[in-house]
A = this chain, B = another copy of it.
Amino acid sequence: MKVNGQNMRTIWVEGDVVKIIDQRLLPHELKIISLGTLEDARAAIADMKVRGAPCIGATAMYGMAVAVRNDPSDITIKTAYDTLNASRPTAVNLKWAIDECMGAIDGVDETKRADILFALAAKNCDDDVAMCSNIGDYGKALLDEIATTKDGEVVNILTHCNAGWVATVDWGTAISPIYKAFNAGMNVHVWVDETRPRSQGARLTAWELEQHGVPYTVITDNSGGHLMQHGLVDICLVGTDRTTATGDVCNKIGTYLKALAAFDNNVPFYVCAPSNSIDWDMRDGLKEIPIEVRSGEQEVGWIMGRDEDGILRRVTTMPDPAKTRNDAFDVTPRKYITGLITERGITNASRAGLLALFPEKG
């Protein structure tokens, strides 16, 4: 999508150098960095220079590619796989991406492996863009339905965390329908959950929407229920880091609370779920999905932002920033989800619904 009026992706190759945006510095600074080694890719994922399940997947593929370009031996490939696999635990796209890489070079001559992986990573990026674009088209149809009932009045969408284009390669998942609707001239407005502790909503979703010109308002994570009680939310659109084969959704911590409020207020709650976010082996999201626990002191205790002079600083509001806990995701049970928006269409959050769209997984 647009940055300073120019189209941009989150990951790309310039000459033979893989480039990404260091998303930790957004919205304050647009810093581009290079991934030249496996360690660069591991750190980019683990330190959250990139985040968002599809963007993590794309970065992991390029991580495999650069590792193999530097040394195409079996032992390096094994190390690269294990290293990237351990870099973040929750998003299923990561494992999907590196498994694709392993399959693509299985039995292939060492000299050809790097080229195959770079081609695969590039194709994966294009596929991801197409998938997100499809999700946008299906989601836009939902927004169109709402718009017709509102007779030109603004359509209010609530979103949590960042499932916009910077969480993917382009378009995004949950924000893709909004971009499509906005580009088509719909009167839309987005309630952006701040999304503590890392403030991906306030930092990234707000930045994306600001750059693209989409009207938005940042609210605290506490506010969405109140807005729904008062009819100020027409639909919730969120992303997913892992979707079970039965339709449970693991997404950024706090998603579950918004789903409960949507359910209580009859607000449609849709999850934009590209198929590579679906873990076909899992049935019970609450019991089976591993939830990453990150540093409470670093992420909850201290808040990074720019001060009034534009300087990046971290501050704490607490007497002791160490007395904190930081679960990064929660699970929204399928009963609270109105529907899943996939690249093949919209379905209810159930095994039967998902299998109807993806019969090859049955």
CA distance A220 to B197 in the complex (A): 6
Instruction: Out of B225, B253, B291, name the residue touching A222 (CB < 8 Å).
Output: B253
B222 touches A221 (CB 8 A): yes
A313 touches B313 (CB 8 A): yes
Q: Which of A195, A221, A227 has the most B CB atoms < 10 Å from its CB? A: A221
Stretch at the interface among A9-17, A318-326, A337-345: A318-326
A324 touches B217 (CB 8 A): yes
Stretch at the interface among A162-170, A256-264, A271-279: A256-264
Q: Quote the shortest CB–CB distance from A355 to chain B (angstroms).
A: 26
Q: Which residues of B sit under 8 angstroms from A207, Cβ to Cβ?
A: 319
CA distance A221 to B225 in the complex (A): 13
Instruction: Out of B206, B256, B316, name the residue touching A305 (CB < 8 Å).
Output: B316
Can you list 20 A-B pairs with a CB-CB distance of less than 8 A? A27-B317, A194-B300, A195-B222, A196-B221, A206-B318, A210-B323, A218-B323, A218-B324, A218-B325, A219-B300, A220-B300, A222-B252, A223-B327, A225-B260, A226-B329, A257-B257, A257-B258, A260-B260, A303-B305, A305-B317
Interface hits, A266-285 → B, CB 8 Å: none
A142 at the interface (CB under 8 A from B): no
How many of chain A's residues have a CB under 8 angstroms from any CB in B?
Answer: 61
Nearest first, the 7 A-B pairs at minimum CB distance are A222-B254, A305-B315, A226-B330, A27-B319, A260-B260, A196-B220, A199-B317
CA distance A305 to B329 in the complex (A): 26
Instruction: Out of B197, B314, B325, name the residue touching A217 (CB < 8 Å).
Output: B325
Q: Which residues of B sit under 8 angstroms from A224, Cβ to Cβ?
A: 257
Per-position binary interface string of chain A over residues 288-327, scored 1 when its CB falls under 8 Å from any chain B CB and 0 otherwise: 0001000010001101111110000111111110011111
Q: Which residues of B sit under 8 angstroms from A326, Cβ to Cβ?
A: 219-220
Q: Which residues of B sit under 8 angstroms from A257, Cβ to Cβ?
A: 222, 224-225, 257-258, 260-261
Question: A229-B330, A254-B221, A257-B261 are known contacts. Are A206 and B303 too (CB-CB below 8 A)?
Answer: no
CA distance A195 to B223 in the complex (A): 11
CA distance A221 to B317 in the complex (A): 14
CA distance A174 to B203 in the complex (A): 33
Q: Which residues of B sit under 8 angstroms from A135, Cβ to Cβ?
A: none
Q: Quote the shortest CB–CB distance from A310 to chain B (angstroms).
A: 10
